[in-house]
């Protein structure tokens, strides 16, 4: 093996709230030796999602918590630099789960996928990865927007919300975003093509929803939970559908108060359903085919907020909870050589 070194951001203690100095450490180690059936991948881009913060808590979700001393878990894109696995050749571009590190070992398993013919590695995280798949399955399987319906999307300037709202527009719905601040609302309307956007930092969210959604809300794609979910429940239309995608409003505290307006699900014969994109792994080609077609037709745009360097990965993660990002938050770890 080539004598390589590996930089990693490892977890030193479980954070409370935002990740603080001392919760993590940037270290340098020797690159791991490969066993039969393994390959070594150099990370080009890391995707930073709110789920990364939940994995730092000492509670098991759909994946176990990150162990103290291990690299912080995150999805990414990279290039195979050495291989002892028949599934991978040197130069292959893969999506995988490297964590906050420059080099990672992969095996032939569900977490690593070779992407042939890659022209834009960054796009593999902004739209042709778990972000795009999440928006696609949540909106098309559960939301099921129809022409003329009103769809509301929270965190509309974020990675998943921005794609989900555009999918609803493609279906012919009227789409209202919810975002934080005038600039994000401008982007949601002018660049992403939503019909309107509500600034949730305004004085009266319920009144703003009533004005923006006079025919009530047929579909709500929820990325935040908390008071925003409660407010939208109060405007639910008959037969309305609520897609539970995330609860970023309470990831830092771990407290998830139930919405007081949930009784509207009874009164309006509504549906509220959560989902996990990993359960649709075999349908990812379906999602990506649709997303590529829409992008080629000029009906879908995507945007990235790129941080340069692994040393800024923790800042990128905290930025998700301070409202610093527009589009997909990404850390560029190294320069791509393929695509």
- The reply to whether 292 falls in a domain is no
Residue 159 and residue 255 share a domain: yes
**Interval 70-91 mean pLDDT:** 97
Instruction: Kindly report the length of the chain.
Output: 339
> For residue 202, what is the domain's CATH number?
3.40.50.720
Q: List CB contacts of 99: < 8 A, sequence separation 6 or more.
A: 8, 66, 70, 71, 72, 73, 74
DSSP structure class, residue 168: H
With the CA atoms of 321, 322, 327 and 329 taken in that order, what torsion angle do they form, in degrees rounded to the nearest 10?
-70
Domain carrying residue 10: 5-123+303-332
pLDDT in the model for residue 2: 55
Residue 202 and residue 73 share a domain: no
Residue 140 and residue 273 share a domain: yes
> For residue 43, what is the domain's CATH number?
3.90.180.10
Instruction: Give the end of a domain, one of 278, 295, 324.
Output: 278
Could you tell me if residue 287 is left (phi over 0), alpha (psi between -120 and 50 degrees) or otherwise beta? alpha
- The reply to whether 290 falls in a domain is no
Residue 234 and residue 189 share a domain: yes
Residue 108 and residue 187 share a domain: no
pLDDT in the model for residue 305: 94
- The reply to whether 77 falls in a domain is yes
Query: Does the pLDDT value for residue 161 go beyond 60?
Result: yes
- The reply to whether 99 falls in a domain is yes
- The tally of domains found in the chain comes to 2
Residue 246 and residue 324 share a domain: no
Residue 210 and residue 240 share a domain: yes
Q: List CB contacts of 108: < 8 A, sequence separation 6 or more.
A: 37, 85, 86, 87, 88
**Interval 226-243 mean pLDDT:** 97
Contact indicator for 91, 82 with CB cutoff of 8 Å = no
Query: Does the pLDDT value for residue 4 go beyond 90?
Result: no
Residue 117 and residue 134 share a domain: no
- The reply to whether 339 falls in a domain is no
CA dihedral for 318, 319, 322, 328, sign (positive or negative): negative
- The reply to whether 338 falls in a domain is no
- At 278, the pLDDT band (50, 70, 90 cuts) reads confident
- Strand blocks (E) in the chain: 5-11, 24-30, 38-48, 75-83, 93-96, 103-107, 113-114, 150-154, 174-179, 196-199, 217-222, 236-244, 271-274, 304-308, 328-332
- The reply to whether 287 falls in a domain is no
Residue 137 and residue 252 share a domain: yes
Percent of the chain with pLDDT over 70: 99
pLDDT in the model for residue 162: 97
- At 59, the pLDDT band (50, 70, 90 cuts) reads confident
Residue 145 and residue 34 share a domain: no
- Over residues 174-201, the pLDDT tens digits come to 999 999 999 999 999 999 999 999 999 9
pTM of the model: 0.90
What's the mean per-residue pLDDT of the chain?
94
Residue 118 and residue 168 share a domain: no
Residue 269 and residue 134 share a domain: yes
- The reply to whether 56 falls in a domain is yes
Query: Does the pLDDT value for residue 208 go beyond 70?
Result: yes
């Amino acid at each position: 093996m080539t004598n390589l070194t590996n930089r990693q951001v490892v977890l030193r203690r479980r954070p409370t709230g935002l990740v603080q100095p001392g919760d993590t450490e940037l270290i340098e180690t020797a690159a791991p030796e490969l066993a039969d059936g393994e390959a070594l991948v150099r990370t080009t881009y890391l995707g930073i999602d709110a789920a990364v913060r939940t994995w730092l808590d000492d509670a098991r979700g759909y994946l176990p918590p990150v162990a103290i001393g291990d690299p912080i878990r995150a999805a990414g894109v990279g290039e195979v630099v050495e291989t002892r696995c028949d599934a991978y050749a040197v130069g292959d571009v893969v999506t995988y789960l490297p964590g906050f590190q420059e080099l990672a070992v992969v095996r032939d398993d569900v977490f690593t996928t070779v992407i042939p013919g890659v022209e834009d590695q960054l796009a593999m995280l902004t739209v042709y990865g778990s972000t795009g798949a999440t928006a696609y399955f949540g909106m098309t399987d559960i939301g099921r927007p129809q022409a003329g319906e009103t769809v509301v999307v929270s965190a509309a300037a974020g990675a998943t919300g921005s794609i989900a709202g555009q999918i609803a527009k493609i279906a012919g719905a009227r789409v209202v975003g919810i975002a934080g601040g005038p600039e994000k609302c401008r982007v949601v309307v002018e660049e992403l093509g939503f019909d309107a956007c509500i600034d949730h930092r305004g004085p009266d969210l319920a009144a703003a929803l009533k004005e923006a959604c006079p025919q009530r809300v047929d579909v709500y794609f929820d990325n935040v939970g908390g008071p925003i979910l409660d407010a939208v429940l109060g405007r639910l239309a008959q037969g309305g559908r609520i897609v539970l995608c995330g609860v970023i409003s309470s990831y830092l505290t771990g407290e998830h108060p139930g919405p007081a307006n949930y009784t509207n699900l009874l009164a309006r014969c509504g549906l509220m359903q959560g989902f996990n994109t990993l359960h649709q792994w075999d349908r990812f080609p379906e999602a990506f085919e649709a997303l590529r077609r829409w992008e080629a037709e000029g009906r879908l745009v995507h945007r990235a907020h790129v941080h340069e360097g692994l040393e800024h990965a923790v800042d990128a993660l905290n930025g998700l909870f301070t409202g610093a990002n527009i589009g997909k938050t990404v850390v560029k770890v190294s320069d791509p050589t393929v695509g």
